[in-house]
Amino acid sequence: MKLYHAPGSCSHSICIVLHETGLHTQTIKVDARKHLVEDGTSYLDVAPLGYVPLLQLDDGTFLREGPVIAQYLADQRPETELTPAHGTMDRYRLLEWLNFLTSEIHKGFIPLLYAVAAGKYVDTARPKLESRYQWIDRQLADKSFLMGERFTIADAYLFALTRWGKASWMQSVYNVNIDLSAHRHLQSWYERVWSRPAVQQALEADGFITSAMPSPRI
Domain-terminating residue out of 61, 80, 99: 80
Confidence of residue 201 (pLDDT cuts 50, 70, 90): very high
CATH number for the domain spanning 63: value is: 3.40.30.10
CATH number for the domain spanning 167: value is: 1.20.1050.10
In angstroms, the CA 206 to CA 8 distance is: 8
Is the domain of 76 the same as that of 95?
Answer: no
Is the domain of 31 the same as that of 100?
Answer: no
Query: Which pLDDT value is given to residue 177?
Result: 67
Is the domain of 76 the same as that of 101?
Answer: no
Residue 211 has pLDDT above 50, yes or no: no
Confidence of residue 217 (pLDDT cuts 50, 70, 90): low
Is the domain of 112 the same as that of 56?
Answer: no
Tally of CB atoms within 10 A around 23: 15
Query: Which pLDDT value is given to residue 124?
Result: 85
Alpha-carbon distance values, 20 to 35, 63, 82, 158, 162 (Å): 28, 19, 8, 15, 19
Residue 216 has pLDDT above 70, yes or no: no
Domain count, the chain: 2
Helix (H, G, I), strand (E, B) or coil at 86: coil
Its domain, for residue 22, covers: 2-80
8-state DSSP, 3:
E
Mean pLDDT value across residues 121-125: 79
Q: Which of 64-68, 89-93, 117-121, 205-209 is predicted with the least confidence, judged by mean pLDDT?
A: 117-121
